[in-house]
Amino acid sequence: MAVKMEVAPSDLDSWTLEAAPSIPSSALVNPLAMLRALCRQESSYGANPVPRHEAIWCPNEHDKQWRDMHKVATARHRDWGCLACCSYGVMQPFYHTLVDHGILLDPTPLLDQRIAFDKAVALLIKKILKQRPQSIFGIGDMWNSGSCNDLIHPTNYMNSLEHHYNEELKRL
Ligand SMILES: [Zn+2]
């Protein structure tokens, strides 16, 4: 049997509709349009939700000095191999970020697209409650660079997400 990672548009529609009411968005950001914009940005609406390997966090790509400095990432890699260096699913949360937020430890369920989506939504909720982004730019900053309250602003990502978001708003 052939296995496909791809998510059907009708599934993505129902997943995002179902999840939107649970998103504690600021009054300035529409949760459904935000979710759909993130799915478009990260996986072309589920057409390309394959696990992506982040070589910069892979102990195999670094020397002993790096591994000594990054003991947690190295230990997780010892347990799970390069499944611990990937981001997953239609919204592409990074494995280490999910673990650091207490959402999971075992990465293997993330190969199920529905589970990967639910875990991404859980992470999004935790991050919004903690960081309180006030705009779609803040959401993009938070999701791509980790925080919307620091000095790192991935402007290409933020602008692209805003573009997708505005198109989604027109469709609501
Ligand atoms: Zn790796």
> What are the CA-CA distances from residue 121 to residues 27, 55, 99, 145 (Å)?
18, 24, 14, 17
Task: Say if 147 falls within a structural domain.
Answer: yes
Alpha carbons 172 and 166: distance in angstroms, whole number = 10
Q: How many domains does the chain have?
A: 1
CB 148 within 8 A of CB 139: yes
| Cα of 54 from ligand 1 centre, angstroms | 7
Residue 134 Cα to ligand 1 middle (Å): 34
Residue 137 located in a structural domain: yes
Q: Has residue 3 been placed in a domain?
A: no
Residue 23 inside a domain? The answer is yes
pLDDT of residue 24: 87
Cα of 30 from ligand 1 centre, angstroms? 35
Residue 103: exposed, middle, or buried by beta-carbon count in 10 A (0-12, 13-18, 19+)? middle
pLDDT in tens, the chain (172 residues): 566 889 999 999 999 999 999 998 766 799 999 999 999 999 999 999 999 999 999 999 999 999 999 999 999 999 999 999 999 999 999 999 999 999 999 999 999 999 999 999 999 999 999 999 999 999 999 999 999 999 999 999 999 999 999 999 999 8
Confirm whether 64 is domain-assigned.
no
Q: Specify if 68 maps to a domain.
A: no
86 Cα–ligand 1 center, Å: 7
Tens-digit pLDDT profile for residues 41-57: 999 999 999 999 999 99
Indicate whether 85 belongs to any domain: no
Q: Which domain holds residue 130?
A: 9-47+123-171
Identify the pLDDT of residue 28.
79
Candidates 1, 54, 12; CA nearest to 37 is 12
Strands 86-87 and 52-53: antiparallel
Q: What is the pTM of this model?
A: 0.95
Tokens 């494995």 — which residue?
95
Residue 69 lies in a domain: no
